[in-house]
Amino acid sequence: MIEGKAIITISTRVTDYCRRRFSIAHELGHLEIHRHGSGLVLCTETDIDNWCPPGEDTTVEQEANAFAAALLLPEQFFATLCQQGDPSLDLIAELADQFQVSLTATALRYVRFSREPCAIVYSHEGYIKWFRASRDFEDLGLFVNVRSPLHPSSFASFVAKKDLTRATPERVEASAWLAPGQYRSDATVKEQSWAMPGYNAVITLLWADDVEGDDWW
């Protein structure tokens, strides 16, 4: 929300250190990108939690979040760290600690720089809200079933029921996550899902390391 004069106001409910840092960077994004707006930057946590990836209906909040992520996770230092080791939420959590940024913000930035076919998926109250994929994932023509309920075969549906916050990766059938497309009928993906109980949400990393082959749909 933007209105009034140029004053930065951070929600008093934002007490977590990482969130406060991100909120400040987010407001700086408004000042930098939306300087021709009416001025006062007064964003709620809901505004800042609008992580839905940019698209045709990109909002000023998403633009400010993208600015904040680029500021706090600078490509110069962050990109090469995303290209070491296998994709996992454990690796993303390590990077989040290192850069003092939330897991979700770090995960979104991670898939931007990863050279593996992977995607980050955010589910809320049992429904897939959005996903963002790496370039290699998109190049395989893969899409996640957004706006669908979590598939019973997905590990995320189990994690959500049990509120598991640090589960290990599991291999699941690709069709539990991916819209019908160009992958083998017996394709599998590696899935790591962690519950985010405070948000009634689950964050999932998908690694499509076993989808290619001769048996195309």
Q: Which is nearer to Zn ion, 50 or 88 (CB)?
A: 50
Q: How far apart are CA 45 and CA 56, in angstroms?
A: 23
DSSP state of 198: G
Closest CB 6 distance from Zn ion, rounded Å = 14
Q: Which residue is nearest to Zn ion (CB)?
A: 43
Closest CB 173 distance from Zn ion, rounded Å = 39
User: Residues in the site for Zn ion, rule: CB under 5 A?
Assistant: 43, 47, 61, 64
Other residues' Cβ atoms within 10 Å of the Cβ of residue 19:
20
Cα distances from 92 to residues 5, 53, 97, 99, 155, in angstroms, run: 37, 18, 9, 10, 19
Q: How far apart are CA 17 and CA 58, in angstroms?
A: 27
Length of the chain: 217
Q: Which is nearer to Zn ion, 40 or 146 (CB)?
A: 40
Closest CB 2 distance from Zn ion, rounded Å = 7
Q: Which is nearer to Zn ion, 38 or 165 (CB)?
A: 38
Q: Which is nearer to Zn ion, 37 or 181 (CB)?
A: 37
Closest CB 17 distance from Zn ion, rounded Å = 19
